[in-house]
Amino acid sequence: MAQYRRVSGSVGLITLQNPPVNALSASVRQGIVDSVKRALGDQKVKSVVICGQNGVFCGGADIREFGRQMSGPPLVPMIHDIEAANKPVVAAIEGSALGGGLELALGCHYRISHSKAKLGLPEVTLGLLPAAGGTQRLPRLIGVPAALNLITTGRHVTAAEALQLGILDHVTEHNTVDVAVKFALSVTGESLDGRRISSFSCAPLSDLDSLFEEAMLKARALQYFFFAQRAVGRWSTPSGARWDTSQPRPVRKAAVIGLGTMGRGITVALAQAGLSVVAVETHAKQLMEAKKAVPSMLKRGAVRGGTTIEPDSITYSETVQAVADVDLVIEAVFEDMALKEKVFQQLSIVCKPDTLLCTNTSSLDVDHLASQTRHPELVVGMHFFAPAHVMKLLEVVYGRRSSPAAVATAMQLGKKMGKVSVAVGNCRGFAGNRMLKRYLEQAFFLLEEGATPELVDRALEEFGFPMGVFRMSDLSGLDVGWRVRKADGLADTSLTGTSARVRQGCRYSPLGDLLCEHGRFGQKTGRGWYQYDKPGGRVAKSDPWLHNFLDEYRARHGLVPRCIDQQEVLERCLFVLINEGFQILEEGIAAGPEDIDAIYVFGYGWPRHRGGPMFYADMVGLERVVERLERYHQAHPNVPYLQPSGLLRRLVANGSPPIHKWRNVIKNRNSQL
């Protein structure tokens, strides 16, 4: 329903009332129609404000009514009548104005919003189109490109963005209804001619064709990705193991070894999947902290997902002996081979002979760990992404001796945990991190050549990544990569002169290592590629220290900074990552391009509407990718992986078949080996 009352003498205030989000049920629509009629018929009322009760404007059509017989007044004429009113109508938006809620607000003559409100047309996420005037009014108000973006993505925008786009007239930090009532008083009697959005003409666009072409490309990418996501479940390995011929084993009880950040997340993910879990941590302090953290993570998850969790599904232990009867173990100790070797040797003794032993390593050799056990065929990698109970991606890494049943079991467990599980072969960094390494290195090189973290991140964020490479590095911690580079014998900052920027015969940038030596590990230390207001702060700010440091670094190494544009940033960072993807396909580490695309979309923030790196390469054109890589390789001959991979060249030589035919080219090649 809707409540109607007169306030401040001459303002008719209509309050939508339908908890929890004031959705536009039949009775709310009836309430609005009746209240508007009353307000317009009352001589004392000079203007109208529409708001929602309990700090929410309106969550849109009442989804609970979908599928039922339509009753009550329809939305379109209701909104039309509001727009046609001869008294100003102001929407006072708090909380959310979504779907039909935003469409109602667009029918009003003015929109005032609280700064914390969210607005959007999310119908597409429900398989609908905005059918209450949104597709007509929004493009007229903010232009076709911006409206198309909101309508086709369904994304929610903040009040600040909505103001910038022109959806809102005013944003306030104060009581929105009070501000709207005052505003309504101030516009009493003013002409409404320029306020009825449906009478606006749509700004003509010279490049409408390219706009629609772009939208079509997005649609193609999303459709491709829909199938790619499903294709990864039909896994296969070069040894011939396949999803449809491999029998997974039942897993009822699992264990996690090591309760750091990853181990806790994995424990939560397993418990949420309904398994009983033995959580092992040999350090008493860490164990105590985990015992507090895990239940509260579970509780938060249950509130979010509306599920219940058996509180005693997790038992904690300080010794590995506690895992004697489990079906599967996931090791998540510190990323140190010697330590992991010891854990696997112990597990091999303690566990039942048929227990599956998994490692959460992000890059170490799964075959080597398997060799520490009595049953190497029961060892696989289960590479989770942080936070492990939230991130959708799981790389299931099969080793040379992993049995088909072991791979099938890990894949099925991943699915049970709600993950997108992708089977990949064993190599340094597996598929995702191996490709990421190339991307990161190019970003460092770009800084050496004259770019700034801001410029690189802006290019990547405009491409669609939720955060650029440097903001991401600050978030995940610069020390993570530093440790890996040290273990690989790369991070040696004592080198000077030319050798400082060359390792193992290839170009190397020590910039990340140098920052770590300055204690700049990213967000956690409050300093990294950016500065933060405090350790743990989230808002990245440009750091003059860093810019000065880069200037000095370039001067020290005789590097003359040059102007670098966004196109070069994208090509250098993305094409080199794509090239590594082709190399991975060629080596059989990933079975098909869909696997790589799923890994990048679910694990690394690659924008879904661009389909994943391999699909993107197909869209850009393989010839162009080869041509650009060759050009960059000529300019940087000491970066060998800028050379187009053999598979990429072969695909071009085969007339650049579309992505769904690449597997044939890969298969033909492998069968000739």
Ligand X SMILES: CCCCCCC/C=C/C(=O)SCCNC(=O)CCNC(=O)[C@H](O)C(C)(C)COP(=O)(O)OP(=O)(O)OC[C@H]1O[C@@H](n2cnc3c(N)ncnc32)[C@H](O)[C@@H]1OP(=O)(O)O
Residues within the interface to ligand X (CB under 6 A): 20-21, 23, 59-64, 66, 75, 96, 98-100, 122-123, 126, 128, 130-132
Please identify the residue of the shown chain whose CB is closest to the bound ligand X.
99
Residues near 417 by beta carbon (within 8 Å), at least 6 away in sequence: 269, 270, 272, 273, 394
Least CB distance from residue 451 to ligand X, whole Å? Answer: 38
Residue 278 bridge partners (DSSP): 255, 315
Cis peptide bond upstream of 657, omega within 30: no
Element (H, E) at 230: helix 208-231
- What is the rounded CA–CA span in Å between residue 420 and residue 359? 18
Nearer to ligand X, 160 or 349 (CB): 160
- What is the rounded CA–CA span in Å between residue 124 and residue 353? 50
Nearer to ligand X, 126 or 216 (CB): 126
β-pairing, 420-425 vs 328-331, is unpaired
> Which residue from 55, 60, 122, 63 is spatially nearest to 93, judged by alpha carbons?
55
Nearer to ligand X, 390 or 490 (CB): 390
> Which residue from 191, 185, 193 is spatially nearest to 45, judged by alpha carbons?
185
Look at the chain and count its residues. Answer: 673
Catalytic residue among 65, 83, 94, 103: 103
> Which residue from 265, 241, 262 is spatially nearest to 410, judged by alpha carbons?
241
Distance of CA 426 to the CA centre of its chain: 25
DSSP 392: -
Nearer to ligand X, 88 or 122 (CB): 122
Nearer to ligand X, 98 or 564 (CB): 98
Least CB distance from residue 441 to ligand X, whole Å? Answer: 40
Distance of CA 61 to the CA centre of its chain: 28
CB 88 within 8 A of CB 192: yes
CB 539 within 8 A of CB 467: no
Nearer to ligand X, 105 or 379 (CB): 105
Q: How many CB atoms lie within 10 A of CB 390?
A: 14
**Known active-site residue 161:** no
Q: How many CB atoms lie within 10 A of CB 345?
A: 14
- What is the rounded CA–CA span in Å between residue 265 and residue 290? 10
CB 507 within 8 A of CB 563: no
Residue 11 bridge partners (DSSP): 7, 47
**Known active-site residue 103:** yes
For 40, the token pair is: 């317009």
For 465, the token pair is: 């990544």
Nearer to ligand X, 96 or 361 (CB): 96
β-pairing, 502-503 vs 506-507, is antiparallel
Residue 161: helix, strand or coil by DSSP? helix
Least CB distance from residue 620 to ligand X, whole Å? Answer: 34
Place of tokens 């903040």: 158
CB 553 within 8 A of CB 436: no
Nearer to ligand X, 305 or 464 (CB): 305
Nearer to ligand X, 19 or 646 (CB): 19
- What is the rounded CA–CA span in Å between residue 112 and residue 95? 12
Element (H, E) at 580: helix 576-586
Nearer to ligand X, 12 or 95 (CB): 95
Residues near 591 by beta carbon (within 8 Å), at least 6 away in sequence: 235, 236, 237, 423, 663
For 242, the token pair is: 């396949």
Give the DSSP per-residue string, 425-475: E-STTTTHHHHHHHHHHHHHHHHHHT--HHHHHHHHHHHT-SS-HHHHHHH
Cis peptide bond upstream of 145, omega within 30: no
Nearer to ligand X, 85 or 106 (CB): 106
Q: Which residues are catalytic?
A: 103, 123
